[in-house]
């Protein structure tokens, strides 16, 4: 189980995350929603161990990130929001680099890399450096690198960004399958449709605090507000109609 | 006129010629200032050279005309070589922007611009850029050039002599510029799209390395008056000599016809290739700039993944990562090549000036031994911190997260080991291997003992200088001049003097007394092992250093603030 308790993060005097607590059980897919600047990426970086919290702690399968960060990170696969990777390498080279850094046996690694390149439709581009890759192709490489070591927890930050329809459907199906086999999936997104289709639970963040945590099934009940309506209300979003009107007036006016 | 699309585009291309394709906007701006400052520095050096040569020409004032003329020819070859060097270096650094590329095509062809306007703007920017450095180098060398023409003024032939010198000198600079454009043009036309970037970077590094290594030869030119008088065979292989020959031919010296012909044909050949490359690219711009799927499938970056599986996992991965980065990153490759070439140039200069290569008797061997024992020590002393610096320059700080996610205790030591082995190969083994054949020729079997002692010295110095290395190569910023720069320079120079004197003495003793050599190898080897063990233990206990800016470290824009 992933347990985040009272996670707080300050950057200088600015409070980015304020006593955030949640749990993620094996087999669960949790969607993490929030407007820009609400603290989603900070939470993700704390959960994967790239940042240390100012207060609070996070643990996975009983291992506290603060006590044994190396053992903790071994259990995690991570797909960052931006496709940041060493683009001068080919996809295969990047996956080999990641696999060797994760100390996977050479034979296993070569087999997995070859298979993942084929399954994620990167095989035809295996000799090209990733500088020529589209965002979607880089995203597929990152997904492959996060899966290489068969992690217990998969943390994804906007994983569907840049993926085409087929790759998106494949990833969605894969995440569902992984969860059904007991792995935990935590993904941060702006896409309500993906949360509704994929997640068992949703957590909504606003201004560094959790403002909503609910089962996704609850939104499907008769008479219940949709996820989008609930999100707008919970995060105090303004009415966008006047803003849209102003924009249109600006471009159509003299 | 100022806002005409071609003028705007010319300004854009001209500016981009200064960014060298490897730096950020701020870095490009700093480099632009540095280059312009370099031109000012060159003018100051020109004045200094004139002051140095003034003594020589004062002594030559009473010499017979043929002696005077001989010296002038050699000095003019030197002046032309300097000017060619400056222009070639600037063009080589900007070689990635000499031709319109795929990005230009994708962005500019979508605008209301014709292909002719794009190419005209590129050519205009290129001419301005080359012209700036040609003019700058000519101005810098004006005082010295004027000094060498005093004899012509006395003989009443100042005007033709000036015209011939200026014309030949300009032709030499133009040849240097056109030569680089031609090389890049051939690459653009002949290299497959998938390899162009890598090959272009490699050629640029080779050119920069070659130019740095050529400096000692340039510095030798004023001393080649005798060779010019004797029509030495190697003049036919020395481009500045061709143009010095052209100058003499223009002044009526028929014995220099072949050199003049070489100059003319070389300049015409480079010009023809450069023009043909531009014309071909102009006609086939769309086809040549788009990536061909077929070309990409057949050839490209490394094909073998097996190489990643050698040795300890993290050490092997980091070594392979370093090797591929040095092969593919223009910045890092250029830095490494530049550092090695600078150290090589210094040593080459001493080797060229050493007396006795032509006879190799006992006295000559003794004299040469000093230089040959000093040479690898100097190379090692300069190359270790140089390669260490090249590994310290960051590649993409945002991509560092993967190393942070996968860091472990043994991995830290393996990272330190990988960095150490890379520096060992480039900064210790390579320099020793380069000088070894010369040492063998002069020292005979004694060179084998020298080789082992040199390797032990290099290993100890490497372990000492890499003790505090605690990072994955290319993941942290290096900020030069953290200390007081003059103090650092004095300390480095003092260390260099002590190191080369002490190691020179040890190597000389090792040749004469095998016991001392054996003792030195054992002691130095033990010291290196102790330093290595300590540094690996320390690496295990210390977190790897990283410098990066995570997206979450940035202040949010607060677009949704209440």
In angstroms, the CA B197 to CA B96 distance is 9
Residue A68 has pLDDT above 60, yes or no: yes
- Mean pLDDT along residues B466-472: 89
pLDDT, residue B319, reads 93
Q: pTM for the full model?
A: 0.77
Residue A3 lies in a domain: no
In this predicted model, which residue has the larger pLDDT, B328 or A80?
Answer: A80
In angstroms, the CA B209 to CA B204 distance is 8
Residue A7 lies in a domain: no
Range of the domain at A188: 22-51+62-252
Residue B519 has pLDDT above 90, yes or no: yes
Asked if the Cβ–Cβ distance from A96 to B317 is below 8 Å, we say yes
Chain A nearest C-alpha distance from B88 (Å): 28
Residue B551 has pLDDT above 60, yes or no: no
Token pair of B44 as six digits: 């100051």
- How far lies B509's CA from each of A145, B452, B504, B519, in Å? 56, 13, 9, 11
Q: What percent of chain B has pLDDT over 90?
A: 37
Query: Which member of A45, A82, A101 has the closest CB to residue B406?
Result: A101
Task: For residue B138, name the pLDDT band (cuts at 50, 70, 90).
Answer: confident
Give residue-wise pLDDT tens across range B305-337.
Answer: 888 888 889 999 999 999 999 888 878 888 888
Chain A residues within an 8 Å CB radius of B321: 86, 89, 97
| Most confidently modeled range among B19-23, B299-303, B445-449, B526-530 | B526-530
| 49-68 in chain A: CB under 8 A from chain B | 49-51
Residue A2 lies in a domain: no
For chain B, the average pLDDT equals 84
**Per-domain residue ranges of chain B:** 5-289, 311-547
pLDDT, residue A188, reads 92
Residue A205 has pLDDT above 60, yes or no: yes
| Most confidently modeled range among A127-131, B14-18, B315-319, B444-448 | B315-319
Token pair of B274 as six digits: 């450069």
Asked if the Cβ–Cβ distance from A70 to B407 is below 8 Å, we say yes
Residue A94 lies in a domain: yes
Asked if the Cβ–Cβ distance from A90 to B302 is below 8 Å, we say yes
- How far lies B463's CA from each of B344, B416, B456, B533, in Å? 22, 11, 11, 10
Q: Is B555 on the interface with A (CB under 8 A)?
A: yes
- Mean pLDDT along residues A213-231: 81
pLDDT, residue B303, reads 54
Pairing type for strands A29-33 and A184-189 reads parallel
Among the ranges given (A42-46, A213-217, B111-115), the one the predictor scored with the smallest mean pLDDT: B111-115
Residue B550 has pLDDT above 50, yes or no: no
Residue A180 has pLDDT above 80, yes or no: yes
Chain A residue whose CA is closest to B302: A127
Give residue-wise pLDDT tens across range B248-288.
Answer: 999 999 999 999 999 999 999 999 999 999 898 888 876 65
Q: CA triplet B552, B553, B557: central angle to 5 degrees?
A: 70
- How far lies B177's CA from each of B30, B126, B188, B453, B480, in Å? 24, 10, 17, 45, 32
Chain B nearest C-alpha distance from A73 (Å): 6
Residue B481 has pLDDT above 70, yes or no: no
Task: For residue B478, name the pLDDT band (cuts at 50, 70, 90).
Answer: low
Pairing type for strands A29-33 and A201-206 reads parallel
pLDDT, residue A227, reads 82
Chain B residues within an 8 Å CB radius of A113: 305
Residue A8 lies in a domain: no
Token pair 């990066």 in the structure block, residue: B548
- Mean pLDDT along residues B468-489: 75
- Mean pLDDT along residues B514-541: 94
pLDDT, residue B287, reads 61
Residue A11 has pLDDT above 60, yes or no: yes
Residue B113 has pLDDT above 60, yes or no: yes
- Mean pLDDT along residues B42-52: 82
Q: What percent of chain B has pLDDT over 70?
A: 89
A29: domain CATH number is 3.40.50.300
In angstroms, the CA B214 to CA B84 distance is 11
Token pair of B283 as six digits: 């006609």
Give residue-wise pLDDT tens across range A126-152.
Answer: 888 888 888 889 999 999 999 999 999
Q: What percent of chain A has pLDDT over 90?
A: 55
Give residue-wise pLDDT tens across range B61-98.
Answer: 777 888 888 889 999 999 999 999 989 988 988 887 88
Asked if the Cβ–Cβ distance from A103 to B314 is below 8 Å, we say yes
Mark out the alpha helices in B256-312 (DSSP H runs). 257-283, 285-289, 293-298
In angstroms, the CA B316 to CA B186 distance is 36
| 207-246 in chain A: CB under 8 A from chain B | 235-237
| 409-428 in chain B: CB under 8 A from chain A | 409, 411
Residue B560 has pLDDT above 60, yes or no: no
pLDDT, residue B26, reads 52
Give residue-wise pLDDT tens across range B386-438.
Answer: 899 889 888 888 888 999 999 999 999 999 999 999 999 999 999 999 999 99
Residue B302 has pLDDT above 80, yes or no: no
Task: For residue A108, name the pLDDT band (cuts at 50, 70, 90).
Answer: very high
Residue A200 lies in a domain: yes
pLDDT, residue B555, reads 44
Chain B nearest C-alpha distance from A194 (Å): 23
pLDDT, residue B286, reads 67
Give residue-wise pLDDT tens across range B187-200.
Answer: 888 877 667 777 88
Residue A165 lies in a domain: yes
pLDDT, residue B556, reads 46
Asked if the Cβ–Cβ distance from A100 to B316 is below 8 Å, we say yes
pLDDT, residue A24, reads 94
Q: Is B448 on the interface with A (CB under 8 A)?
A: no
Q: Is A78 on the interface with B (CB under 8 A)?
A: yes
Chain A residues within an 8 Å CB radius of B402: 85-86, 97-98, 101, 145
Give residue-wise pLDDT tens across range B495-512.
Answer: 999 999 999 999 999 998
Its ipTM equals 0.88
> Are B99 and B188 a contacting pair, CB within 8 Å?
yes
pLDDT, residue A163, reads 85
Chain A residues within an 8 Å CB radius of B560: 35-38, 235, 237
pLDDT, residue B297, reads 45
Token pair of B115 as six digits: 């292909």
pLDDT, residue B299, reads 43
Longest CA–CA separation in chain B, Å: 91
């Amino acid at each position: 189980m992933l347990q985040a308790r009272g996670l707080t993060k300050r950057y200088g005097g600015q409070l980015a995350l304020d006593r955030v607590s949640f749990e993620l059980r094996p087999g669960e897919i949790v969607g993490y929603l929030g407007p820009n600047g609400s603290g989603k990426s900070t939470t993700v970086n704390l959960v994967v161990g790239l940042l240390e919290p100012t207060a609070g702690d996070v643990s996975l399968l009983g291992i506290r990130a603060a006590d044994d960060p190396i053992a903790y990170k071994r259990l995690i696969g991570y797909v960052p929001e931006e496709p940041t990777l060493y683009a001068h390498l080919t996809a295969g080279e990047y996956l080999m680099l990641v696999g060797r850094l994760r100390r996977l046996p050479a034979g296993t690694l070569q087999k997995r890399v070859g298979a993942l390149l084929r399954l994620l439709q990167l095989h035809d581009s295996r000799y090209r450096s990733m500088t020529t890759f589209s965002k979607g192709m880089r995203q597929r490489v990152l997904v492959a690198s996060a899966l290489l070591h068969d992690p217990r927890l998969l943390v994804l930050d906007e994983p569907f960004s840049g993926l085409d329809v087929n790759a998106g459907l494949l990833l969605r199906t894969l995440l569902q399958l992984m969860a059904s086999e007991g792995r935990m999936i935590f993904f941060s997104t702006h896409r309500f449709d993906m949360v509704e289709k994929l997640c068992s639970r949703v957590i909504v963040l606003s201004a560094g605090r959790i403002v909503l945590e609910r089962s996704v099934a609850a939104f499907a009940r008769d008479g219940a507000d949709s996820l989008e309506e609930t999100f707008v209300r919970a995060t105090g979003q303004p009415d966008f109609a006047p803003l849209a009107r102003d924009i249109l007036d600006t471009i159509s006016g003299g | 006129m100022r806002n005409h699309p071609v003028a705007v585009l010319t300004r854009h291309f001209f500016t981009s010629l200064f960014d060298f394709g490897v730096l950020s906007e701020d870095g490009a701006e700093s480099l632009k200032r540095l280059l312009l400052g370099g031109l000012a520095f060159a003018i100051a050096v020109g004045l200094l050279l004139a002051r140095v040569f003034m003594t020589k020409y004062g002594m030559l004032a009473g010499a017979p005309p043929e002696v005077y003329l001989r010296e002038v020819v050699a000095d003019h070859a030197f002046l032309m070589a300097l000017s060619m060097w400056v222009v070639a270096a600037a063009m080589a650094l900007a070689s990635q922007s000499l031709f319109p590329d795929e990005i230009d095509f994708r962005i500019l062809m979508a605008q209301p611009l014709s292909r002719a306007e794009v190419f005209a703007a590129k050519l205009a920017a290129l001419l301005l850029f080359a012209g700036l450095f040609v003019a700058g180098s000519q101005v810098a060398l004006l005082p010295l050039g004027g000094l060498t023409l005093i004899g012509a003024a006395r003989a009443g032939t100042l005007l033709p002599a000036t015209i011939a010198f200026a014309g030949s000198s300009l032709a030499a600079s133009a040849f240097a510029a056109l030569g680089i454009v031609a090389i890049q043009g051939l690459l653009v036309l002949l290299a497959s799209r998938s390899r162009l970037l890598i090959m272009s970077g490699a050629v640029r590094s080779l050119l920069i390395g070659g130019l740095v290594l050529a400096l000692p030869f340039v510095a030798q030119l004023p001393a080649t008056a005798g060779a010019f008088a004797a029509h030495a065979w190697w003049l036919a292989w020395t481009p500045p000599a061709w143009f010095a020959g052209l100058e003499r031919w223009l002044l009526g010296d028929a014995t220099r016809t072949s050199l003049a012909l070489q100059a003319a044909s070389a300049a015409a050949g480079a010009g023809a290739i450069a023009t043909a490359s531009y014309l071909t690219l102009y006609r086939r711009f769309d086809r040549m700039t788009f990536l061909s799927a077929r070309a990409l499938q057949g050839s490209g970056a490394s094909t073998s993944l097996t190489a990643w599986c050698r040795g300890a996992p993290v050490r092997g991965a980091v070594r392979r990562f370093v090797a591929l980065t040095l092969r593919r990153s223009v910045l890092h490759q250029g830095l490494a090549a530049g550092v090695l070439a600078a150290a090589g140039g210094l040593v080459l200069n001493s080797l060229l000036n050493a007396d006795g290569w032509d006879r190799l008797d006992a006295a000559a061997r003794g004299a040469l031994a000093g230089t040959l024992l000093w040479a690898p020590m100097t190379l090692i002393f300069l190359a270790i911190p140089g390669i260490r610096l090249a590994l310290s320059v960051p590649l993409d700080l945002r991509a560092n997260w993967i190393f942070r996610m996968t860091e472990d205790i043994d991995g830290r030591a393996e990272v330190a080991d990988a960095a150490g082995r890379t520096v060992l190969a480039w900064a210790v083994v390579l320099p020793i291997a380069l000088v070894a054949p010369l040492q063998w020729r002069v020292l005979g079997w004694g060179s084998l003992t020298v080789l082992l002692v040199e390797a032990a010295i290099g290993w100890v110095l490497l372990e000492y200088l890499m003790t505090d290395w605690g990072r994955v190569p290319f993941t942290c910023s290096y900020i030069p001049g953290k200390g007081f720069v003059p103090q650092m320079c004095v300390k480095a120079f003092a260390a260099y003097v002590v190191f080369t004197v002490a190691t020179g003495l040890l190597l000389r003793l090792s040749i004469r007394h095998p016991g001392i050599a054996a003792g030195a190898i054992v002691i130095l080897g033990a010291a290196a092992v102790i330093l290595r063990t300590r540094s690996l233990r320390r690496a295990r206990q210390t977190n790897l250093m990283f410098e990066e800016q995570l997206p979450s470290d940035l202040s949010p824009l607060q677009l949704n603030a209440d």
